[in-house]
Each structure stands twice: as C-alpha cells, then as structure tokens.
Structure 1
C-alpha cells in the first residue's frame, strides 16, 4: 500500500557527550548506518514516507570545563551520506563535563539556528535532544565567557524562547522538539512553555540508560 503522506525531513540530534552518556552514544553509533532504513520503516508503518532525509549532529559538554565543549556536523543527506554520518558519530567520545550543569542551552540554540531546508510542501524540522543533566543559564556568559564560547548566541532564556517561537529560522508549522531530559532547569520550563515539544523525562545523572533506540524512532516518526 502506498503511503498517503510524503515528507522532506531535517533532523538535528543534540547529544550530551559528557562522561555519563556513553550508553546513549553507543546506541547512536551502533545504529548509525541503519538509521535511514529504520526510520523509514517506522514512518511507513504510520502511513507516511520520507522523500528526503537530512541528519545533523551536535554534541555538547561544558564550555566552563571542557576543551572541546561543542562539536557540530553539517547536514548529511541520507542514505547517500550514511557512511560519513556514521564516521562522524563514531568519533564522538563520552568524556568530560565535570559536575552539573552542562552547556545544553548553547547546543539547543545552535540546533535552532541550523541551515534548515526551505523547499517542499510537507516539511518537518525536528530537534531531538538527549541529556541527563541540567544546563547553565545563558546569562552566565554575559559576565565573562570562555575563549571557545560562540558569538551571537541568545543572551538569556527569553531570547532563546523567542528564537524558537518564531524569530529564528525554523518554520512554525514544521518545527518539532523532542527532549529526553530530566525534570530540571531549564528543561521543565521548556517542556511547559514552548510549543510543538514533547518532554520525555529522564533520570538525572544516569546517562539515559532507560532510553531505547526503537522508542526514539517511534517518537521521531510520531512527530513528523
């Protein structure tokens, strides 16, 4: 049976790459080459089909603790660039981070500002964020930021909210945010006040051991 709905989908995977997150990273790495086919199968089961899929990865740690606090890829066109995508994620090592909080909001801002595709009548722009930690307030950088801190990030949570809610590059009908994050600052506020998001509450400090790859695929396909 042919699928009723066909979509052009951009997905940005925002991954906490601190030391406790090795389980989640191992899941992403183990399934990297199958990601397109597995997601397409989940979509087809829901009478949907992806015409074009691009995937981008942002791995974050802590700007105030780590030498490599933010690692970003370009978008990979799947399945044509599946091997390049796999090589990128294989190179991410769960390390560092120190104590909570981490730099999750900076990573989320980078994801929102991704170079999203603008064509297609059925577009979806999906951010999937995984963390087991709270996040530094963006205001911290206003009193002095580390050398690697990116320019042009929102100055506070209100500016980040504005970026999500329509002042950024994402399309309002197309945008989706899936968060696997603890009931902690700022994730609980985002879950309560931002539109088009689903907050799957994780256990703090346990590396998202409870997150299952197939459940993530199901959540992504439901969001499209």
Structure 2
C-alpha cells in the first residue's frame, strides 16, 4: 500500500446548500462536522492509500431570488484548509435555515456560480473539482427570478447554456454530486451530464435521511 501514497490530489470542493426553512437537518449535520471535515477527509483518503495534497472549500447557500431578495444567494471565496479552518467553521455556523417562498428554489443559479468558481489549475498533482448540491426541493428554471434587482447579470441564460458551462470544465477533474429529489432539472442533469451522481432525497425532509459518514464516503469516492 505504501507505494500508492505517490497518488496526491489537489482538491477543490464547492458545497451548494439549500438554506431555506426546511433544510435544518442537513445544515445541522454540516455544522456539527465542519470542524472535523478536513481531518476526516484526510483519514478517509489515507485508508484508500491516497493523499490530499491541498484542500480548498467554497460555500454557496441558496434560496429564492424573488422571495428572499438580498438573502437569496451567498457565495464565498475558497477557504484553504486547514489554514482557513476557523473562518470556514464560523461561516458554516452562521448559516440559518430560513426563507424560501415556494417549493422550487433557485438551485440552478447556485450550480452556475459553482461551475464558474476559480478552480485550482497549478501543480503536477491530480486535480479534483467537486461540486456537491444539497436540497430537498425542486429548482426553478434559470431566469425565473430575473425580476429581482440582485439577480446576477452574468448567469447562464438557460439550461442549455448551463449544460455547456459544465461541458467546458475539465473532464478528468470535474465531479458533481447531487442530493436532491427526483424532480425536473435534477433528473435531467443526472441523466445527461457526465461525471455526475444523483442521490435522490425525500422532498421537504431537509435531507435528514443522509448521515455524515455517507456524505463523506461519497466525496472520498469522487476524488479517487
């Protein structure tokens, strides 16, 4: 096993979290484990004979542009771990499950922000650019909330353009994990986008059915 430790990975993870009122379950899980995530992931990778050379985590908390206004979308920069562990932990613990005007939320806009992240490109190690989406709701079509004054001006115009953005990402590096109900757009993505795994969630249940270890294992397996 020792020889496998030459396999080193530079890992970027974007966590897209539905932060509406029903999502207390998964938010509590993330908060409870945020401080230990870096160490847990390192240990999980070492068990596979692999190493995380560098880890950066970005958080996107999304709601509904028309219903939640300025609270509809929060997108951070990447936190380099473990150097920015305290800042990451503070940010995660500041999130409150609140808002959301109807069942569909603006998850596709969150995915657009995630795809256009400033991903790592330097170095000779294997790279992994991982997006994890957590939601217990369907998603509006792109542009549903365009009338909101804070709607992003450089967002993908429609689902086809969002798909093109995904296709432009490096095939060997990108991974998409979706924890979402089996509803339109989420199922279209899982059926047609490459490097994507969909873990169906129960609508309106806050992803309480998923344990932290399950999520950690899924992220570990998406790395290598």
TM-score by structure 1 length? 0.95
Cα distance, 1:4 vs. partner? 4.2
The correspondence for 1:128, drawn from 112, 129, 132, is 132
Cα distance, 1:5 vs. partner? 1.4
Gaps of 5+ in 1: none
Q: Where do 1:1-224 residues align within 5 Å? A: 2=2, 3-67=5-69, 68-121=71-124, 122-141=126-145, 144-166=146-168, 170-224=169-223
Q: Counterpart of 2:65 in 1: which secondary structure?
A: coil
CA contact (8 A) 1:111 1:127 kept: yes
Cα distance, 1:171 vs. partner? 1.9
Structure 1 runs (4+) deviating above 2 angstroms are: 1-4
Question: How many angstroms apart in 1 are the aligned matches of 2:156 and 2:221?
Answer: 30
Question: How many angstroms apart in 2 are the aligned matches of 1:205 and 1:26?
Answer: 15
CA contact (8 A) 1:132 1:206 kept: yes
Gaps of 5+ in 2: none
TM-score by structure 2 length? 0.95
